[in-house]
Amino acid sequence: MSDRLSVLKTYKLYVGGKFPRSESGRVYEVTDCKGTWLANAPLASRKDARDAVVAARKAFGGWSGATAYNRGQILYRIAEMLEGRREQFIAEVADAEGLSKAKATAQVDAAIDRWVWYAGWSDKVAQITGGANPVAGPYFNLSSPEPTGVVAVLAPQDSSFLGLVSVIAPAVVTGNTVVVVTSEKSPLPALSLAEVLATSDLPGGVVNILSGRTAEIAAPLAAHQDVNALDLAGADAGLAKELETAAADNLKRVLRPEPADWSADPGTGRLLSFLETKTVWHPMGV
Amino acid sequence: MTSAFEYAPAPESRAVVDIAPSYGLFIDGEFAEGSDGKVFKTVSPANEEVLSEVAQASADDVDRAVKAARKAFEKWSALPGAERAKYLFRIARIIQERSRELAVLESLDNGKPIRESRDADLPLVAAHFFYYAGWADKLDHAGYGPHPRPLGVAGQVIPWNFPLLMLAWKIAPALATGNTVVLKPAETTPLSALFFADICRQAGLPKGVVNILTGDGSTGAALVAHPDINKVAFTGSTEVGKAIARTVAGTDKKVTLELGGKAANIVFDDAPIDQAVEGIVNGIFFNQGHVCCAGSRLLVQESVQDELLDALKRRMQTLRVGDPLDKNTDIGAINSAEQLARITALADAGEAEGAERWAPACELPGSGYWFAPTLFTGVTQAHRIAREEIFGPVLSVLTFRTPEEAVAKANNTPYGLSAGIWTEKGSRILWMANKLRAGVIWSNTFNKFDPTSPFGGYKESGYGREGGRHGLEAYLNV
Amino acid sequence: MPNTVPAYGKEAAGRLASMADVTADDGALRRFLHGLPGVDAVGLQARAATLGTRSIKTTAKAYAIDLAISMIDLTTLEGADTPGKVRALCAKGVHPDPTDRTVPKVAAICVYPDMVATAKEALSGSGIHVASVATAFPAGRAALPVKLADTRDAVAAGADEIDMVIDRGAFLCGRYMEVFEEIKAVKEACARPDGSAAHLKVIFETGELETYDNVRRVSWLAMLAGADFIKTSTGKVAVNATPPVTLLMLEAVRDFHAATGVQVGVKPAGGIRTTKDAVKYLVMVNETLGEPWLTADWFRFGASSLLNDLLMQRQKLSTGRYSGPDYVTVD
């Protein structure tokens, strides 16, 4: 092996399809489970959160208006891109979570497969949640699901990659755009995922990724009047209560944290949590 | 419109309903006095006559009711779905049998015209129970996975605008799915819920499955905060909805909220004008405008504005305001002095902010709470009457030039409950329906309701859906 | 809105001239008719049904019953009609209830052209009009000269009113100008030598036009062509007058009046048999057009059996007990 000095990566945030540093100029030290330095990650501020919400809102119209087929193709493309960088993510996950290579591999493979699972949902979710309602009158009446809007997602703290994918994919596949706060202690797989998203035809702003102190970034997101929903997967009970209380100010939809086995069959619960049902009536007559 | 053809009074008989001078709380299958003996009066808003005196439930009463519901839950949830269904079918049938009595009662206590309580509220109440009755033994097939389970005890707080219908929206799905309930009717309209308690008795419903607590906001707050309820269902103001969302934060309580609205009713220049006028009238003057999904913002395309407003004003002149029990009344009484004050204040603000106010000449009764059907033109998005929910017979008229502008204005509100679209062009309807951020879109119609059709809002209009298969989810552990 | 002038009068023609641009040629007429607002069927039916829930009691009912009687075009249009039958009907029209002279007389007796002379004689001095169907009623399938001759014959025999049928075939295949010209020609044929003219009612046979959009278009077409009255039906097809169709025609009359100031009458015909039905129609007139139309000059019922039901209801109101068919006359 060579003695070549490796080139280190500067990890950045992912906002609006771009890779900015935190506007605060802050970083924090990320270590592996043994305390060895891995990298410096951006310590995002409330202003970064604000910028991310603006980007997510801007992307919402186009992404929610894209055809379901198109969204499915793009999610599948993410899986394709990840497959090509599989080794990189196995290494990052192993470092981040202190896993053996075999266990890290299982996590990454499951994460790639999860994108594929959700990609296929894009054009089926309306068929399992919507439908015609047989009203007692001369009216055509149809209910269909629509994305809730901008979702702030606190990624799980302990599953830096599989858990992360398991909360991003179900929100975006239906047309929501998201602002994701990474695992606080293990942000690197998430920040690397941004590089995959940026090369997968996913429009800028659909997924925005912030690393830093979960509680610090989550507070402005939970209070933000232009955020429509909150996934509290990565919040502990105390923080979750505080954020849910703040979220009441504009009646965000809140998905409370629950103990989760991210390797299990994800089911449809999360997929259906960030949908609104729209019901359209029209008379039938000549 | 004055005419030689003056309709003689056609009052529905009050004799079909027998209101007791006082009512207790309905807990564990029996009427009992409140623990601290406090009572309040409920009046007819049409003439301020005291109809009855009802108990003010205290926190202790809430606790007793929740305990009764908890006790009843074990057996009720274990009952085969088909048996629960039969109880609900019984209730639906008894409501049909007693519908005239209940319609008169509702008009007396609420002030709504008998034509509406008779032709809209009561048929929908019965239909709602009938619909959810049929679900009780089919939950495995409802699309929520095998064997979905009930949540437990539901605390339900309902508004005064459709007292019995909102009760049906809450109780029917809760019971069908195997939950038991503690329901608090609105302070100004407690009577039909108390009559419903009697229907539960006639139907032989097991004790404690349905508990009715009358009271004010403090009773509702105590119910929502009670640690042993598993589900909160609320219909009412966005302000209270937010307080409830804060109260339940950090708990396991499942919540559905049906809150306010400021719906746009959008009329294009190719609309079926006569039906659009009817839709506008029905959209804002139905139930005195005490409707969360009321079409309170008329967005009219500038190219048809004059023609439409002329037609609308002409139509408004034929609206008959008066005695809710007269079968020819179109607009009844405002539900309470408090609500009348709020409507009056907002209408005055509309005038003060420069909008032009118009109302047909109509004689309002001397006693009771009344507000003439009112139209504001020259309203902009910045006016309070274009942003705040008035919850009264007051229509704000705004204009637009293009479909994009109509969508932008319609969506420019923190609410998102409903919207209306009037155009004869099918592709435009579908485009608009897709763009509007609201839970119910009425195209070429307005204010239509059906037990099979999910109802509920986007954004600050609340979350969760009531009605249809979707309405089951709120009461199941899914 | 301009001042109101009756469609019967000479001034109406001048008012219509102001609309000449829309009837200048086939294309203009088509564009105009197709540019009228659409009709949402469900909404129209719902509005008619809601108006049908009005509860008309006591004094209002008494008023409505007498008004309805006075608006009846008491009709016999049978192949088996004879002078005797027509004379009996005329007698009934003059004194609908032989036991109660306070009952108003009907508006007109409606017969086939060959019975006009008989009816005219029987009604002499009564003030009741003779209305004659014409233009190859009820199908209207005859050449224009035949239809005009039919009309002139009835007018010459003394008809005060002509109930013509339109060519539904021409309307349904879009030959609007042909229908328009035919109505104008019949209107001219209604003229009498003394310069006066029989009033023209134009029957659409809405049961054959099927859609409400067609009813609104044909209403405007007929009014533009000079109809004094627009009438739903012949009474000879499966679907005759219905509340929604009549409501729509009332709305067309209202809009035409708003545009031109010309007052046109409306006549639902066929299938209106009960007092309850008749009162529903009067409620629609009241709440759509208002008082100026609440007279026999501007609203009629084409009916035969309706009169006896009105009379029985009238007896009930005045005596407090229910009447029976033996207490009204069968003619």
Report the number of distinct structural domains present in chain B: 2
Tell whether B230 and B273 lie within a shared domain: no
Q: Which chains touch C (3 or more CB pairs under 8 A)?
A: A, B
CA distance B443 to chain C (A): 11
Alpha-carbon distance C282 to nearest alpha carbon in chain B (angstroms) = 9
CATH of the domain at B316: 3.40.309.10
Does B222 share its domain with B300? Answer: no
pLDDT for residue A1: 54
Confidence tier at C331 by pLDDT (50, 70, 90): confident
Work out the average pLDDT over A154-169. 98
Chains with at least 3 CB pairs less than 8 angstroms from chain A: B, C
Average pLDDT over residues C268-292: 97
Please check whether residues B234 and B298 belong to one and the same domain.
no
Nearest to A244 among B249, B414, B458 (CB): B249
Q: What is the per-residue pLDDT for B1?
A: 44
As a whole number of angstroms, the distance between CA B25 and CA B66 comes to: 13
Arithmetic mean of pLDDT, B297-303: 98
Render pLDDT for A63-100 as a digit per residue (tens, 0 to 9). 999 999 999 999 999 999 999 999 999 999 999 999 99
Contacts of C43 in chain A (CB under 8 A): 283
Task: For residues B297 and B244, state if they share a domain.
Answer: no
Please write the tens of the pLDDT for every residue from B441-478: 999 999 999 999 999 999 999 999 999 999 999 999 99
Instruction: Summarize the confidence of residues B314-335 as an average pLDDT.
Output: 98
Q: Please report how many Cα atoms fall inside a 13 Å half-sphere around the Cα of residue C117, on the Cβ side.
A: 4
pLDDT at C330: 87
Give the mean pLDDT of C72-82. Answer: 97
Residue A133 pLDDT exceeds 80 = yes
Q: Of all residues in chain C, what percent carry a pLDDT higher than 70?
A: 99
pTM of the entire predicted model:
0.97
Which residue in chain A has the smallest CA separation from C211? A286
Co-location of B147 and B292 in the same domain: no
The CA distance from B414 to the nearest CA of chain A, in Å, is 8
Tens digit of each residue's pLDDT (9 = 90 or more) over A35-59: 999 999 999 999 999 999 999 999 9
Domain-located, residue B101: yes
Could you tell me if B221 and B340 lie in one domain? no
Confidence of residue C3 (pLDDT cuts 50, 70, 90): confident
Query: Could you tell me the residue ranges of all domains in chain A?
Result: 27-283
Catalytic pick from B106, B116, B258, B460? B258
pLDDT in tens, B264-278: 999 999 999 999 999
Q: Choose among C53, C60, C286: nearest Cβ to B119.
A: C53
What was the pLDDT predicted at B3?
67
* SS (HEC) of B187-249: CCCCHHHHHHHHHHHHHCCCCCCEEECCCCHHHHHHHHHCCCCCEEEEECCHHHHHHHHHHHC
Beta strand pairing call for B394-400 and B254-258:
unpaired
pLDDT number for residue B2: 52
**Whether A276 and B468 lie within 8 Å, measured CB to CB:** no
Nearest CA in chain C to A137: C42
Domain contains B409: yes
Q: What is each CA distance from B278 to B121, B264, B286, B420, B422, in whole angstroms?
A: 19, 15, 11, 12, 11
Chain C residues with beta carbon closer than 8 angstroms to that of A139:
42
CB-count burial class (<10 Å; 0-12, 13-18, 19+) for B204? exposed
Across the interface, of B3, B279, B328, the residue whose CB is closest to C43 is B279
The mean predicted confidence, pLDDT, of chain B is 97
% of chain A with per-residue pLDDT over 70: 99
B312 in the same domain as B175: no
pLDDT digits (tens, 9 = 90+) for B412-451: 999 999 999 999 999 999 999 999 999 999 999 999 999 9
Q: Is B268:B189 a contact under the CB 8 Å cutoff?
A: no
Q: Is position B346 within any domain?
A: yes
Do B445 and C38 make contact, defined as CB atoms within 8 angstroms?
no
Q: Which range of residues forms the domain containing residue B324?
A: 264-443
Catalytic residues of C: 163, 231, 267
CA distances in angstroms from B176 to A211, B65, B124, C183, listed in the order given: 46, 20, 17, 64
Chain C residue at shortest CA distance from B120 = C50
Split at pLDDT 50, 70, 90, the class of A33 is: confident
- Band the pLDDT of C317: cuts 50, 70, 90: very high
Q: Count contacts between A and B (CB, < 8 Å).
A: 99
Judge contact between B147 and B81, C-beta under 8 A.
Answer: no
With H, G, I as helix, E, B as strand and everything else as coil, classify residue C17.
Answer: helix
Q: How far apart are CA B194 and CA B289, in angstroms?
A: 25
Q: What is the rounded average pLDDT of the residues A7-33?
A: 97
> Using an 8 Å Cβ cutoff, are B318 and B359 in contact?
no
Q: Are residues B142 and B173 in the same domain?
A: yes
Give mean pLDDT, residues C179-200: 97
Please state which CATH number belongs to domain A27-283: 3.40.605.10
- Give me the total of CB pairs closer than 8 Å, taking one residue from chain B and one from chain C: 78
In a domain, B177, yes or no: yes
| Chain C residues with a Cβ under 8 Å from any Cβ in chain A | 40-43, 45, 210-212
> Which domains, from first to last, does chain C contain?
5-320 (3.20.20.70)
ipTM of the complex: 0.97
Orientation of helix C176-189 relative to helix C26-34, angle to 10°: 100
Q: Does residue B465 share a domain with residue B401?
A: no
* Contact check, Cβ <8 Å, A250/B460: yes
Active site residue B106: no
Mutate which of B2, B3, B7 to test chain C, going by most C C-beta atoms within 10 A? B7
Q: What is the CATH number of the domain that holds B132?
A: 3.40.605.10
In residues, how long is chain A? 286
Q: In the predicted model, what is the mean pLDDT of residues C76-87?
A: 97
Among C117, C129, C217, which Cα is nearest to C166's? C217
Rounded Cα gap, residues B31 and B38, in angstroms: 15
Q: For residue B8, is it within any domain? A: no
B278, C38: Cβ pair inside 8 Å?
no
Same domain, B251 and B175: yes
Confidence of residue C1 (pLDDT cuts 50, 70, 90): low
